[in-house]
Amino acid sequence: MDGLKLRSVGRTDLQLSALGLGCWQFSNGRGLIGGYWSSIAERGVREIVETTLAGGINWFDTAEIYGRGGSERALAHALSTLDVASDNVVIATKWWPLGRRAASIAQTFPERVSCLSPYPITLHQIHQPFSLASIPSQMKEMARLHEQGLIRAVGVSNFSAAQMRAAHKALAGYGIPLASNQVKYSLLDRRIERNGVLDTAHDLGISIIAYSPLEQGILTGAFHRDAERLKVLRGARKLQVTAKRIETSRPLIDRLETFAKKYEATASQIALHALVTLHGELVFAIPGASNVRQAQENAGALHISLTEEERSEIQELSLRVVANG
């Protein structure tokens, strides 16, 4: 096939590419969360966005907490500079709940609109299950935005199986489906398959949006090819990308590299494609990109066609590596 087709998000009418672009790295180095990444120049952001769209990806995921709105503004500015029509792109963003009550969702929404103008917020998500308010109260506020036509879909992020069910039940009272749960998921992190999140998504028709789908770069194979890269890591990433994890994941990376040669692709492209096809059309993924090459690689993952046997082999190796890790 010539690329993965657009797929529905949960039980909504949204049609998105299997991959979106995660935009945390557009935070311009601002804030406690945004400071995780170095600043990317305006031209660099524009080129990444342009390359992403040209490759067949039609949506972008950002958040209020990413640079205190800096990521949202950078994304909107890049799209505007490229003269992208608002109906040709989908934006997902997230409300930061820590220390806030549900009323903050409506109170902060105008700022989200301002940061992303002239692009509408299509999918609005609760970023973490840490609000001072109950899940039903948060869903009530999200439902109001939906009923006013200000958003088209409601999602959550980092919610447990029980929290997903609570959100789904609350929204159902307003006749609105819970579209998605954004969680950490990759070929090297399969916790959602054991803690009930994936099963709940299946049962309720809720899409999974996988963040960190390349496991902080481990699944690119770059650290396996050059161990010296480990020495320049900093911050939280240094704690996640360790020599032990590089060694235990080597059998999987070696196989990804073999398939990459066969398809004239990269290990990261094989890993991304395998992830978003493991469970039919249930899983989306939002890899980031800090340069044009990474944006090209992300989009290229949409245009690979692994066989069932190859997917099964990757699946088995992935499970074995995770069990041994």
Strands 123-126 and 90-95: parallel
pLDDT value for 227: 61
Phi, psi angle pair for 201, to nearest 5°: -60, -45
Domains along the chain?
Answer: 7-220+266-306 (3.20.20.100)
- Order of strands across the sheet with 153-157? 21-22, 59-61, 90-95, 123-126, 153-157, 178-184, 207-211, 283-285
DSSP 195-256: SSHHHHHHHHT-EEEEESTTGGGGGGTHHHH-GGGGGG--HHHHHHS-HHHHHHTHHHHHHH
Cβ neighbourhood burial of 231 (10 Å; 0-12, 13-18, 19+): exposed
Mind listing the pLDDT tens digit for each residue in 7-18?
Answer: 999 999 999 999
Largest CA distance in the chain: 54
Asked whether residue 32 carries a pLDDT value surpassing 70, the answer given is no
pLDDT at position 1 is 39
Give the pairing type, strands 153-157 and 178-184: parallel
Per-residue pLDDT of 202-249, as tens digits, reads: 999 999 999 999 998 889 887 677 565 666 655 556 657 676 788 888
Provide mean pLDDT across the span 21-40: 73
Q: Mind telling me the catalytic residues? A: 66
Alpha-carbon distance values, 218 to 50, 95, 238 (Å): 26, 29, 12
- How many C-beta atoms lie closer than 10 Å to residue 302's C-beta? 20
Token pair, residue 114, equals 């301002």
